[in-house]
Every structure is written in structure tokens, then in C-alpha cells.
Structure 1
């Protein structure tokens, strides 16, 4: 059995696991004060916006899965913002663009994270906005230690901030200097924004529901929306196209948006039921992959063997090819999810897999007889690497990049939450000076080609990579889990699940186990890089496994032993609650008792 880096936590009071120790401890403090899992997740989520500003921010987005013991079901809170009404393929083509910029204001969507967190608080929480938002206010106002990765990220874009984005320089370069690792960093403007939201909420009276409604109004129809529209309208900023563009987002776009609550997409795998977002996100690829894997006797395949890695990679190629051809906002495109998950279709797709790596092409299927259409992948400009854009946790050269956050919570009453906040990265969009945060550049995931499931359309949600996970075992709520990592998220989520189910590992062992991901599918992020046939894999795999994978036709890029994924997980297992957190990056922690 794998020797883990730290113990799996075990207790019966509550567990919080996230990508930053301060967020985890904040969530635990909420539980200790009598809050439930929803309260703790919301408080942790707002703290993540402050302490991991290169990975998410108030202007970003978040999908949330929550198990309600009261309602005995999982629901999805869709915190993915939509494209502005003025954003059309024709309009951007007139600007000379063939691909959506990866930075700047053109790729801004409605910031959905605030609405999603408050929807979770209102539907399932018990605390007031002040109680859950105060820890974030404190960290923003009094300061927090700068992560070394934050310092490196700011150093990467220092020249751009100074030359092209002065409002970002004013926020992230105090005294004109890159903040040193472990130095105290304050964002007092953001603290004032959060404090004003609390004040406007409490001005609505003592009723908790009315206070949350008032805060939502202040964000989407009040001072926040007004500042966003003004900044987008009045500030043409340079982006990865090399040109300056105004933003298209307006206060009307903001006021017409709200977080949606919906049922999850699900698949039964043996005695487990796995729950994911709908096909407006990439979540169902994990379900498609599980359906394909059901045809293999994985209990007899050693975890981490060449056979194990091979079948994971090959089933993933097929599932992700279908994502490229079929997934998009279901309000604007017909996503044949029922057919994609059907036994008949799965059998047809599984027949394409053999003992050798597939061709270097993307091979989407024809569910229900529909014919797939893939985008045309254009050549991108040279500025993406320099700008530090995109979201992969591990780049094709093995370097780590910033991307996303994750938090999981379970309380003694059995409520469980999995959330993957992202967007609003400090390095991807200029800071709005009145608010202290920047906007999401998630619209870079749209195609500027008409007629595709993920084509840019006014009011549509970009097909996000954000993909929290939840699983039931024998019909009972069991595990909430997830990871940062862009297109790789569901590859690592799958490995965690199957390490536990077939490898007999506990949560911490499953997180610590050597990991890998395929880069076969084109990236969802600017500049849409693709490395067909390539597998990024940690060097902790035995040499014999690596050699056999090469013999089967996989192009391996062997990285450091602790470079793949940043998984978090909590579980309810009989009378005990459990938790594990990622040691990679020396940042994630689980807490609980």
C-alpha cells in the first residue's frame, strides 16, 4: 500500500478540505461556531478569493454541488456567468479576431461566483452574510501572507501591469514592487467592497433572507454592476491579440443574470452513483469515461500499472472528443447527453479501444445518428505564454501554472458541499479600481465560429472546465471531491475515485498516489494548444510502466514526482467523517475533528 504524506482525517464533527490552509481553517471555524457545511463552504470560498487571487476572485465563477440531508438529493448551483448581449461572432470578427483573447476585457462574462455563493447560503445555510463574509474582509483589510506562487505570477506580468494595466499595478505592485513571498499583503479596496455589501444587506432589516437578497441586488443591479459597466466602457485595454479593446459587459447583462439551481447529470457505476454538472461544463466527460470503463474488469487491473494508465488515457480521449463535438450551453444547443451515456453508444465507442494508443486525431462519435462537427483550431499569437494565461495546472513542458481552487465540506448533520471556484485571475484582466478585483476571462472558451455547440452567443454560458464531483455509495451520500486543473480536472477526479473504489485506498492515499493526464484534446483556453498522443506523467511510476506505455505508442512527458493535480476530498463513511488534501504545491490542507 502507498505510504501517504499525511494522515487521512477521521472524526464525527465536521471536515473541510481546500487548496489553501487559511480557507480550510476558516471553514472549520464556521463549523465550530455552529454553522453548517453550506455556511462553511461560503466563508471558505470568499477567503479563497482573497488569499489565492491568481487562481480565483470575486469577479469569477463557481459551480457547486450540494447534498441536502433534508431534501435527500444532490443539486447543482450553476455559478457560471454568461456572455454580454453585445458579444457576437460577427462583432468580434469585425475587430479582426479569429480567436477570443485570453486576457483583457473582451473575454469578460457576468461574474457568477457571488450569486452562486449567496444562493448556497440562502438555500442551505443558517448564518448571516456578515458572519460568512467577515473572515474575507479581515484577510483583505489586515493582510495575509503572500504565496510564493502569487509573487511569481505578479512578477511575470509586472511589466505589462506597469505599461498597460495601471489599475492592476496600483493594486498588485505596492510601492511599485512585486510583493515578496510571505510578506503581508492587503487589498483594502476589496475589503471596502465586501464591507459595503454587508452594510447594504443589513440596511434591508434583520431578516436573513432579505439581507441576502439586498446583497445580490447591490452586486448585480447596484454599485458593483455600475462600476463594472463604467470600467468596461471607458477603458480600452491591451489583451493577447496585441490590441486594445473595450469590454462589452453592461449593468443590464449583470441585472438579467442569476445563479440557476438544477439537477446533476448522473451515472451509476457498480454500486456508486456519480453526480456532475450538466454539459454546460465538462463534468459529463467523467460520466462517459466511467461508462466506458464499466466494460473492463478493473478490480483485476493493478492500480498504476501500464494496463491501468493505458485504459484511462484511451477512454479519456473518446470522452473528451465528444466534449469538443457536443457540449455547450443546453439553452442554446441540443446536447444529446442521454445518447452519449447510453449503453448502446458506449459499446460502440468502447470497440475503438485496443492495446495500442489511438491515432493522433480527435474521434468524436455520432450519438443517436447525429453527425459530429469539430471546431477549426486556428493558430494563436505568440503572447499567450508571456501573458501567463490559460488554466492548466501542468503545462506541456512540465511547468506548473496557476489555475483554480477547490473546497469540500461535510458537517455532522450529513450536508456535503463540493465547489470549484475560478476566474477573475489577477493576471488575466485589469483590476477595477473602485472594487479591488478583476473580471473573469472565461469567454475565451467560446469559439468565434458559428454553428458549434460552444459558439459565442449573447447570453450563453461558455463551456467551462470547472468540475466538482459528488458520489453516492449504495444510494447513500458518500464523497465530495474535486481539483483545479482546467481540462485535466476530470482526469484527476476519475483517478481519485477509482483509486478508492478499485485500489482500496483511503482518501489521502488516493490523493497522494502517482498521477497523470493526457493532453490529446485541444485546450479549452487561449491559445488552444494541443499535443496529440502526449501523456504527462509523474516520475514516481516504475520505469517498467513508463517503458511499456511508450511501447504502446504513448508519447510520455515525465514530470516531477509531485506535479499532477491538487485534489481535495471529504467523505461520510458509516459513523465517521473523513478528509484528505493535496500535498502537491505545499498549500492545500484538510482540517476536521
Structure 2
């Protein structure tokens, strides 16, 4: 059996050029980033401009009160992939004891008790200060314009607002005032504005004195965010009790000291060598190393086991992912994680024989010497007062494709490569409009990343003050011969790395072009404990696109997979940019599903 050949046609071409390439989850963000490149900015200037536009045009998928992670490499030091860490920690008063005393069994999926300290804005400003070239006001020009003057919204924004309309009207009036100014959800194509957020960005730009250096002006904006009017408004507003996804009312616990003490930073990437390529991810405070563990298991197989378009390949990939993600639950968190051992060939060789001809319905973390694996509550369903009402449930979770195949939403992603060789992959998320009530003076709300922590004691990802929740945000950078060649990423919660894995296998092993790999039929497992409230799992569950084919799907069912057909074009939100150092050619590709992601370049 040979690797399945890609379809002879794609939904759009893989873009090729030599100047610069951008891809993201919204065309206005892509166009803004490309405009920065055209005016002499570098990849980092462009990525920051794009990120703030995404706050405005995809408010149901991310916001300033959320989080982000990035992986990048600079033209000056291309062999060293660096993680941009924009994941804030739990507030000092966010103790498991407090949450349990509030009558909670899980950290809520929405409401201020779910909020980590927001770090995305600080991370973007840090990247701009250290690696960009533009002034802050010039980079934020695009976002300020769309927020103040308006932009035509995509249908999914209105659909999201409609799904939480009852929640807004009954419990979150400040959100209703901003997102339903005429008493209804806006329709696709309607112009919406966010003057409050435009004013926030203006004030951040104005925080830097004109006689200071560019870097000093950016640092002044960072201080204004963390110590000035933003922190003051957020803390005061969220201290008021409000409805959470638990169906009960609670006050937030974030303080001014939490804001002031939170700073973004840089970290070395975690890497794994696969088929002559270096795959770079975040540390195990994110889920990224689970992709590396999956590759470590799959590295022991021949090509026919690595083809997602065949029953053998899809089965092998799904089973390897279950094993790696079980280790994510057992060992990952903002803690001492034994990654050297988890990524070793010795350990991978122990895990490989667990993959048999039949689908596993068990939760099977591995054994690490000297460590006790955490076994999370394995709920197939969860009943709480909020789950009885659509409005209360709709604000929950980084939106994924559920067991039923229903898409609740997504996150955002940005990839940029410039003519000098700078490359960045970044996944901003959280702080979406359904996370918690809108802070009226700011025009945005706080995020809900703490829902990824457990209230059970003893887990590496147990809720702990000052510790980062184990985020699902997981951008990817790929290097070959110590040079960055691919920036890649996807929205999708627990599916982000599962979908990216298919791209990596199809391009590196199967020889697909970037657009062919993105367009090809996708799949993922739901036989894992979910990272988002209400944190359930489906033993043996697999969600597939119908285009995988009846024969393959029937074969998977015969192997014991509990298959959900999601439709022909439902799974995957990937975008990527590519650099070929041998020829100087740059490439870009974007997801056609949902008719929203776009690539641009020349």
C-alpha cells in the first residue's frame, strides 16, 4: 500500500511568492498583516497588527481579556525557536478551597471565576517591543479603525450572540448593551462598532511620552494596561456577583496586584525530531508536547500507518493520540513535567504495543518512574443547573466540535513569514464575548482559561494561585536543517494538535502541498477527557468528515471506534505559511471551511 495521493484539485491555490506571506482565520486580519508587510514592517509588526484586528472582527473567538501563545524564529537567530508566553496565571485568591466553598465541583466555563489574569495584550506588546520595528500607534491603527468606524460582521458572530441572548438579557446587561444595541443579535453583514475598545487602544498609545524611545513608549502602554485604568476597571467590575455557567452567581477574585504581577515572557521551545524536521511547541504548561509524544509513537511505524486517508492510518493515528493525550491529563501542567522521559524512544517503544487492531475505550496514561499519574474524573455526562438552559450553556468552553458533530465556535490563529526570514505562528484566544459580562468602560470581558484546571487535589493541573492553567493553545513552528520552514496552527480546543498532526503527516510523509493538506479529509478522537467545562469524554469516540469515505468509516466502526460523521467540510481550521530556503520561495494556505480563513502574499 502506498500513501494516498492528494486530490488533483484544491479549494484554492497554495500561494507562492518571494516577498511575504500571511494566513489567519479572518480575511481582515490577513489583509491588515499583509498591509504592514507592504509598508516595510516585518513579520512581528504584521502579526501584532493582525492580532488586534482579530479582537475586533472575531470577538466571539478571542478578546483582549484572553490569552495567547506563539512560537517564532528570527532572521538573526533562525535555528532557535522561541515561545512567546501570553498565558496568565490564576489569581492569588483563586484557591480550590474558595471554589469548593462556593459549592462548585468544577471551575465554571464562563463567569469571572473562570478567568486567568489576562496576558495576551502584554505578550503582543512585548513581541512588538523586542522584535518589531513599528510604533505602537501605527500597529494598532487597523484595529482602532475597525472598532471605531465599524466593520461588517460575519454570520457566526451574530449566531453566537443569538445563542447567548437570553443570558445577556437576563443576567449580563452590559453585554446586551454592547452586542445587542437594538435588542437583537446583529445579522451577517451588519456594521458593528466598539467605541469603548477603540478608546482603550487610544489611551494605551497615549501612555508613552513623545520624547521617549519606541521601546519606552511600548513599556508605558504595558504599565497602563497592568497598573492603570484597564486593571482598575476590570477588577472593580468583576468583583460584582454575576451569573456563571454553573447556574449560580459568584463574584470574581482578581485583584489589582494580580494584574500588576502578570507579565508575558519568552521560553525555549520544546522540540522533537521527526523525519528530518524539528517540530517546535510550547512547554507542558500547554498541550503542545502531546503532539510531540504522538509523533514519537508514530515514528516507529512505516508510511502506510501514517496515512490519515486510510482505515489503517486513521486507526493508528487515533490510537496514538489517545495514548499521548492520556499522558497530557496525567502529567502536564505548570509543574515539573518529565518531558525528556515522555519523549524518549524508550518510553515510546513501551507505548506502541498498546495500539492493537481494535479501538481502545480505556483511559491509559503511561508509567513514569517516581511519578503517580493523575486520573481525572471520567464523566460521560455532567448535569448542573446551567445545562438545562441554552443561554447558560452557550458561553462555555473554547469551542470545539462536539460528539454530536455540532460546532460551538472556535479560537483564532495567525501565521506570518517575511522576506528577511522572520517567521511566527500564534494562537490568540479567550476573552470571547460569551466568557463573562462585558466591562462597559473597556468594551471587552475577561477570559475563562481557568476551566482547564481541576478542583481535585494532586493533579499537575489542579487550580493553584499563581500557576498557569494548562492551555490548549498550541501553535507550531517546523524547522529543517536549523532553519524555520513552516508556521502552522489551528483553532479548536482539544482538536488543535489533532488536526495539525494530519497536516504534518501529509506534508512531511505524504508530500502534500500546504493547501492539499488543509483541504484533505480530517478527523479527531473524543476518547479523551475534555479540557473545557463540563469536561466529559466519549470512550472510543471518533469524529470524522464524511469525505473520508464510506469504506474507511465502516472499517473504523468495525475496529470498535464510535464514529460521528460531522459532514463533508466540518473539521479543521488550519492555516500555515512556508519558507523554502533553497529557492527563496514563500508559500501560504488557509482553511476553506466556514468561508472565513484567508491567506495573502506575493
Whether TM exceeds 0.5 here: the answer is yes
Could you report, residue by residue, the CA deviation over 1:114-157 in whole angstroms, capped at 9, with x for unpaired residues? Answer: 01101111111000100111100000000011110010110111
Task: Tell me which of 86, 92, 97 is aligned to 2:104.
Answer: 97
Query: Is the aligned partner of 1:222 residue 2:228?
Result: yes
Task: Tell me which of 417, 429, 433 is aligned to 1:426.
Answer: 433
Which residue of 2 is the match for residue 123 of structure 1?
Answer: 130
Task: Tell me which of 311, 318, 323 is aligned to 1:313.
Answer: 318
Q: State the distance in 1 between where 2:572 and 2:320 align.
A: 19
Task: Tell me which of 45, 48, 53 is aligned to 2:54.
Answer: 48
How far the C-alpha of 1:371 sits from its partner, in A, is: 2.7
Which residue of 2 is the match for residue 381 of structure 1?
Answer: 384
Q: State the distance in 2 between where 1:452 and 1:153 align.
A: 33
Q: State the distance in 2 between where 1:382 and 1:96 align.
A: 12
Q: State the distance in 2 between where 1:64 and 1:132 align.
A: 18
Structure 2 alignment gaps of length 5 or more: 1-5
Indicate how the Cα distance of structure 1 residues 140 and 391 shifts in structure 2: closer, same or farther if over 3 A, else same: same
How far the C-alpha of 1:375 sits from its partner, in A, is: 2.0
How far the C-alpha of 1:377 sits from its partner, in A, is: 4.4
Per mean C-alpha deviation after superposition, the further-off stretch among 204-213 and 283-292 is 204-213
Which residue of 2 is the match for residue 296 of structure 1?
Answer: 301
Q: Number of residue pairs matched?
A: 587
Per mean C-alpha deviation after superposition, the further-off stretch among 368-377 and 128-137 is 368-377
Query: Is the aligned partner of 1:177 residue 2:184?
Result: yes
How far the C-alpha of 1:393 sits from its partner, in A, is: 2.8
Q: State the distance in 2 between where 1:246 and 1:289 align.
A: 40
Which residue of 2 is the match for residue 339 of structure 1?
Answer: 341
| 8 Å contact kept, 1:303–1:503 | no
Q: State the distance in 2 between where 1:525 and 1:299 align.
A: 34
Could you report, residue by residue, the CA deviation over 1:62-121 in whole angstroms, capped at 9, with x for unpaired residues? Answer: 001111111231100110011110010111111111111111111111111101101111
Which residue of 1 is the match for residue 588 of structure 2?
Answer: 579
Which residue of 1 is the match for residue 599 of structure 2?
Answer: 590
Could you report, residue by residue, the CA deviation over 1:496-535 in whole angstroms, capped at 9, with x for unpaired residues? Answer: 1111011211100000000001000011000012111011
Give the secondary-structure state (helix, strand or coil) at the position aligned to 2:164: helix
Indicate how the Cα distance of structure 1 residues 301 and 483 shifts in structure 2: closer, same or farther if over 3 A, else same: closer
Task: Tell me which of 2, 8, 12 is aligned to 2:18.
Answer: 12
How far the C-alpha of 1:319 sits from its partner, in A, is: 0.1
Q: State the distance in 2 between where 1:533 and 1:367 align.
A: 24
| 8 Å contact kept, 1:299–1:502 | no
Which residue of 2 is the match for residue 353 of structure 1?
Answer: 355
Which residue of 1 is the match for residue 3 of structure 2?
Answer: none
How far the C-alpha of 1:398 sits from its partner, in A, is: 1.1
How far the C-alpha of 1:4 sits from its partner, in A, is: 0.7
Q: State the distance in 1 between where 2:230 and 2:440 align.
A: 11
Per mean C-alpha deviation after superposition, the further-off stretch among 363-372 and 503-512 is 363-372
| 8 Å contact kept, 1:31–1:40 | yes
Greater than 6 Å deviation, 4+ residue runs: none
How far the C-alpha of 1:380 sits from its partner, in A, is: 4.2
Query: Is the aligned partner of 1:484 residue 2:491?
Result: yes
Task: Tell me which of 403, 409, 429 is aligned to 2:410.
Answer: 403
Q: State the distance in 2 between where 1:40 and 1:373 align.
A: 41
Structure 1 alignment gaps of length 5 or more: none
Q: State the distance in 1 between where 2:276 and 2:172 align.
A: 53
Q: State the distance in 2 between where 1:71 and 1:301 align.
A: 33
RMSD of Structure 2 on Structure 1 (CA): 1.2
| 8 Å contact kept, 1:54–1:425 | yes
TM-score calculated relative to the size of structure 1: 0.97
How far the C-alpha of 1:240 sits from its partner, in A, is: 1.3
1:107-506 equivalent positions in 2, closer than 5 A: 107-201=114-208, 203=209, 205-233=211-239, 235-298=240-303, 302-329=307-334, 333-358=335-360, 360-377=361-378, 379-381=382-384, 383-384=386-387, 386=390, 387-388=393-394, 389-506=396-513
